[in-house]
């Protein structure tokens, strides 16, 4: 019954596709700023090493974290406290941490940015701590910001003699506006002779459409698609570049993307692109079903007997059912979405659907990239 329903559904799939084409909405236009970025307008990663103090006995154990001990000694020496022996350093209220941040584009000196603090040693929690002055450097080794302040931890940890509970990650914290920008990146937009747009998802069709939209707005030969990811916009001598960027980024285009089917085999999730198509193909699903059933019966002795015992006797039966293979021919140029909807409607599970899609791809009838994650 199940295979006959599948065969009927696959034969009707082309009709359902034609009937549903008129109901399918056209692809929406999006702004250029939502699918692309401008060359030079980017964030920069910052990193630093520091100490968090003021912890309630949840910091690093100096015996297991020698770098924390050396950092405490160096900090105290800079503050005028020196000549400390190893026996004196037994604090558990300090933790060594890595401090990371993102420097926004065109961040000016004196502006504030957020920082993330992550424990480097064996501290159990950073709750209640304060980050001591920590320089943040870029990839070039220059200091661009300095972070300091009380930290906020989302998770918590509680521990007793025989039990403990941990919620979230108490060894990772944040400081909103916790770093002050001390150095600016030398980059001036007005020094650029042209403007380059970089697509987040490289595609020849999308790049040409972006160039055509800019030429329609700014005039012919104003933009040129250099490759699938880059569009160059020529700048007039009198053009103000920020104003030109504002005009370009709000233009709307219809992006294009390759046909792709993404399958998450662990959760059974299947995502299908709108342009996925399949050729004429015959599909069959069948196999063996083995059913093992065991009933328990009781053997009772006669009412008048000597030495008789009640015995439990298992009654096992094995039944093998073989599904007959039924081929259903699916006509060409059919939306794969219709096929999957039909398989779901008749109760085919996610694992069986994934197997069918993989088999269609192996047969060369699936015109899409099949990506399994």
Domain for residue 293, yes or no?
no
Q: State the pLDDT at residue 355.
A: 81
The DSSP H or E segment spanning 4 is helix 2-21
What is the pLDDT at residue 143?
95
Give the rounded distance of the alpha carbon of 194 from its chain centre: 34
pLDDT digits (tens, 9 = 90+) for 289-322: 445 555 666 666 666 656 566 666 666 555 545 5
Distance CA 105, CA 42 (A): 5
* Region of poorest pLDDT, from 144-153, 205-214, 296-305: 296-305
What's residue 165's pLDDT? 66
Q: Does one domain contain both 225 and 172?
A: no
Confidence of residue 271 (pLDDT cuts 50, 70, 90): confident
Specify the number of domains making up the chain: 3
* pLDDT tens per residue, range 319-366: 545 555 454 545 555 566 666 666 665 566 677 778 878 888 888 888
CA nearest to 169, candidates 156, 188, 187: 156
What pLDDT, on a 0 to 100 scale, did the predictor assign at position 347? 62
As given in the structure block, the two tokens for residue 169 are 């990650």
- Contact criterion met (CB below 8 Å) for 10 and 339: yes
Question: Cα 265–268–272 angle (5° rounding)?
Answer: 95
- State residue 32's pLDDT score: 94
Whether 50 and 172 map to the same domain: the answer is yes
309 domain residue, yes or no: no
Q: Pick the residue with more confidence: 268 or 254?
A: 254
Q: Check pLDDT > 70 for residue 284.
A: no
* For residue 16, pLDDT beyond 60: no
Strand pairing report for 252-253 and 223-227: unpaired
Flag whether pLDDT at 61 surpasses 80.
Answer: yes
pLDDT at residue 23 in the model: 38
Residue 301: DSSP 8-state: P
Using a 10 angstrom Cβ sphere, with 0-12 exposed, 13-18 middle and 19 or more buried, the burial of residue 251 is: middle
Residue 356 to residue 294: CA distance in whole angstroms? 34
What's the pLDDT at 364? Answer: 83
Instruction: Give yes or no for residue 176 having a pLDDT over 70.
Output: yes
Same-domain pairing of 234 and 267 = no
CATH of the domain at 216: 3.90.76.10
| Nearest-angstrom CA–CA distance, 320 and 30 | 57
Least confident piece of the model among 10-19, 91-100, 168-177, 352-361: 10-19
How many whole angstroms separate alpha carbon 237 and alpha carbon 216? 20
Lowest mean pLDDT, pick from 131-140, 247-256, 285-294: 285-294
* Rounded Cα–Cα distance for residues 354 and 339 (Å): 12
Q: What's the rounded Cα separation, in Å, for the pair 310 and 287?
A: 42
pLDDT at 257: 84
Domain containing residue 344: 2-25+260-288+322-372
| 165 occurs within a structural domain | yes
Query: Could you tell me if 201 and 147 lie in one domain?
Result: no
Whether residues 242 and 230 share a domain: the answer is yes
Most confident by average pLDDT, 102-116, 182-196, 235-249, 345-359: 102-116
pTM reported for the whole predicted model? 0.65
What are 324-333's pLDDT values in tens digits?
545 454 555 5
Among the residue ranges 72-76, 174-178, 180-184, 226-230, the one predicted with the least confidence is 72-76
Residues 271 and 336 grouped into a single domain:
yes
Show which of 138, 165, 181 is a domain's final residue. 181
Q: Percentage of residues in the chain with pLDDT exceeding 90?
A: 33
Tens digits of residue pLDDT in 77-109: 888 877 666 556 678 889 999 999 999 988 999
One domain, residues 130 and 14: no
- Are residues 176 and 195 located together in one domain of the fold? no
**Cα 99 to chain centroid, rounded:** 23
* pLDDT score recorded for residue 156: 61
Beta strands in 154-274 (DSSP E): 156-159, 164-167, 172-181, 194-199, 223-227, 230-234, 252-253, 260-264, 269-272
Q: Residue 369's closest CA among 236, 276, 282?
A: 276
**Is 301 a domain residue?**
no
Question: 147 and 103 in one domain?
Answer: yes
pLDDT attached to residue 20 = 38
Q: Do residues 159 and 170 make contact, with C-beta atoms less than 8 angstroms apart?
A: no
What is the side-by-side order of every strand in the sheet holding 269-272? 269-272, 260-264, 369-372
Task: Taking residues 150-158, report their average pLDDT.
Answer: 77
- pLDDT-derived band at 276 (thresholds 50, 70, 90) equals confident
């Amino acid at each position: 019954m199940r295979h006959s329903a599948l065969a009927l559904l696959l034969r009707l799939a082309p009709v359902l596709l034609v009937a549903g084409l008129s109901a399918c909405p056209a692809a929406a236009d999006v702004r250029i700023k939502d699918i692309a970025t401008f060359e030079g307008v980017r964030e920069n990663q910052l990193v630093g090493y520091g100490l968090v103090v003021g912890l309630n006995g949840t910091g690093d154990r100096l015996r297991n974290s020698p770098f924390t001990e050396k950092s405490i000694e160096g900090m105290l020496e800079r503050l005028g406290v020196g000549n400390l022996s190893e026996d004196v350093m037994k604090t558990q209220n300090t933790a060594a941490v890595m401090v990371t941040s993102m420097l926004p584009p065109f961040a000016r000196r004196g502006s504030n940015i957020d920082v993330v603090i992550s424990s480097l040693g064996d501290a159990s929690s950073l709750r209640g701590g304060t980050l001591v002055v920590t320089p943040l450097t870029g990839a070039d080794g220059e200091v661009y910001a300095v972070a300091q302040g009380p930290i906020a931890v989302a998770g918590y940890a509680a521990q007793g003699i025989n039990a403990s509970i941990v919620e979230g990650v108490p060894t990772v914290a944040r400081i909103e506006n916790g770093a002050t920008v001390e150095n600016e990146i030398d980059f001036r937009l007005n020094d650029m002779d042209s403007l380059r747009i970089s697509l987040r998802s490289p595609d020849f069709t999308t790049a040409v459409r972006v160039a055509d939209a800019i030429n329609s707005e700014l005039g012919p030969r104003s933009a040129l698609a250099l490759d699938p990811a880059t569009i160059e916009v020529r700048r007039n001598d009198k053009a103000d570049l920020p104003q030109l960027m504002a005009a370009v980024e709000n233009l709307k285009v219809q992006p294009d993307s390759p046909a792709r089917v993404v399958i998450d085999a662990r959760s059974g999730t299947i995502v299908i692109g709108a342009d996925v198509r399949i050729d004429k193909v015959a599909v069959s699903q069948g196999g063996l079903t083995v059913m093992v059933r065991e009933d328990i019966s009781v053997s009772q002795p006669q009412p008048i007997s000597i030495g008789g015992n009640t015995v439990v006797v298992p009654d096992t039966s094995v039944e093998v059912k073989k599904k007959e293979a039924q081929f259903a021919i699916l006509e060409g140029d059919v939306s794969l979405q219709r096929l999957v909807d039909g398989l779901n409607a008749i109760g085919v599970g996610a694992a069986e659907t994934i197997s069918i899609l993989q088999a269609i791809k192996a047969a060369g009838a699936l015109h899409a990239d099949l990506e399994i994650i």
